[in-house]
Amino acid sequence: MRYWLFGLILFSMVATYGVVAFLPHSYLWITYVVLGVEALFLLVLFRSVLKPAQTVRHGMDLIAAQDFNNRLVDVGEPEADRVVKLFNTMIDKLRNERLQNMERESFLQLLIEASPMGVVMLDFDGKVSLVNPSFLKITGILSEENVVGRVIEDLPSELARRMADVPLGVSEEIRRGDIRRYRCYHLSFVQSGFPRQFYLLESLTEEVMRAERGAYEKVIRIISHEVNNTMGGVRSVLDTLHDLSDSDDLKEVIESCDNRCDQMTRFISSYADVVRVPEPVRSKIELNKMVGDMVPFLQGMAPADMALIFEPYKEEIEVEVDLALMQQVIVNIVKNAIESINKDGGMIRIVIYKQNERPVLEIANNGEPISEEVSTQLFSPFFTTKREGRGIGLTLISEILNRHNATYSLKTGSDGITRFQIQL
């Protein structure tokens, strides 16, 4: 309507100017007056209507383009200038809110990146949209490209896939066939009116290990001290009675009691050995040669009808380990493997290979499989499934490997083969 009025006034000015040619010179002043009034009216219309309208339209274009850095200028019309002032105030608020949101997002992103907990964000379709470095490190996934755009159940990590079993709004502890323990949180928040899910993955291993080690070390030291002192006194009395007695039957009983005291002392000492594991004195060792030199001894441990196969890596692999402690680990693992095989055609295979550019020592056997329930408890201190076992072997292995900062697992695969894997 305003543009139509502006066009009408402009047309009338042109028409008036055309009429001038047909009017006598004595009436020209009237024409000039009319033209002046029309020009003045046109100027007023432009300043009060058209220019404010253009200014408002320009402001709308700025908002549509989300350009919050430019401001509108006054047009000299009081009502229009009020609109300009209000618009500029609104633009300032929007710009400040945008800057605050950007600062919050940047801070949140830095917080997620630096968090020691693994973070996994899902989009509205339930697919992974964001992960942080801690999640990749905990799960062993090489890069973010292997994760983004996939569902949790399809991630290239057993630990990551098991996160899918945690119900929404719940936190659960996840354990695998090794010493490592994790706490997984499955939570959600509302964004744009829709729930958006995310996971938090926390490693509990170091804290649990310190607490367990501190507890059993204290108990073992107390028991060892009390038993050794008691057994020492009892054996001293038994020796005295043995020397004073003339009865052969009584001496036999005393000797039996003395042997039992000796067995009790050795029994307690075996637990104390776990507490007294020394700190590794590391040196550079070629892994193929270290295991290869042990093969004849390991074959001597196994029955004649049991095959022990060694497959070294195609290239030399140099690792920094304590030679004596690592040899003890290998001996204990092979011993456990031999004890688990109670059938003909037993086989133990020792393989060295690389995984993610890290050397791996794998000792596999075809003995009794390990159930999922037992697998999650294997490396609990002094846990055993043997009737006469004391749970010292795996506890000692775990203690040595932990002091080497090694990653390890013991479980039975879908092919029925039980594998003890050590990643150095």
The share of the chain scoring above pLDDT 90, in percent, equals: 5
Lowest mean pLDDT among 159-168, 177-186, 368-377: 368-377
pLDDT attached to residue 358 = 85
- pLDDT average, residue stretch 256-261: 78
> Does the pLDDT value for residue 149 go beyond 80?
yes
> Does the pLDDT value for residue 232 go beyond 80?
no
Axis-axis angle for helices 323-340, 287-301 (nearest 10): 40
pLDDT band at 286 (very low <50, low <70, confident <90, very high): very high
Lowest mean pLDDT among 5-9, 101-105, 380-384: 5-9
> Does the pLDDT value for residue 405 go beyond 70?
yes
pLDDT attached to residue 115 = 83
The share of the chain scoring above pLDDT 70, in percent, equals: 67
- pLDDT average, residue stretch 153-165: 85
Q: Which two tokens stand for residue 97?
A: 């809110």
347-355/118-122 β-pairing: unpaired
pLDDT attached to residue 2 = 47
Cβ pair 404, 283 in contact under 8 A? no
- What is the Cα–Cα distance from 137 to 143, expressed in whole angstroms? 9
pLDDT band at 225 (very low <50, low <70, confident <90, very high): low
Cβ pair 339, 388 in contact under 8 A? no
Using one digit for the tens of pLDDT, what is the confidence trace for 114-147? 888 888 889 888 898 888 888 888 887 888 888 8
> Does the pLDDT value for residue 276 go beyond 90?
no
| Alpha-helical runs (H) found in 115-178 | 133-139, 158-162
- pLDDT average, residue stretch 319-348: 85
Question: Which positions ≥6 away from 53 have C-beta within 8 Å?
Answer: 2
pLDDT attached to residue 28 = 52
> Does the pLDDT value for residue 183 go beyond 60?
yes
pLDDT band at 210 (very low <50, low <70, confident <90, very high): low
The alpha-carbon radius of gyration of the chain (Å, integer) is 42
Cβ pair 322, 280 in contact under 8 A? yes
pLDDT band at 351 (very low <50, low <70, confident <90, very high): very high
User: Number of C-alpha atoms within 13 angstroms, CB side, residue 377?
Assistant: 10
Of 182, 173, 184, which Cα lies nearest the Cα of 204?
Answer: 182
pLDDT averaged over every residue in the chain = 76
pLDDT attached to residue 58 = 67
- pLDDT average, residue stretch 157-169: 86
pLDDT attached to residue 1 = 44
Of 223, 314, 304, 318, which Cα lies nearest the Cα of 264?
Answer: 223
Lowest mean pLDDT among 28-42, 74-88, 179-193: 28-42
* Beta-bridge partners for 175: 181
Distance of CA 180 to the CA centre of its chain: 13
Element (H, E) at 119: strand 118-122
Cβ pair 364, 421 in contact under 8 A? no
CATH number attached to the domain at 115-203: 3.30.450.20
Indicate the CATH number of 283-423 among 2.170.190.11, 3.30.565.10, 3.40.718.10, 1.10.3720.10.
3.30.565.10
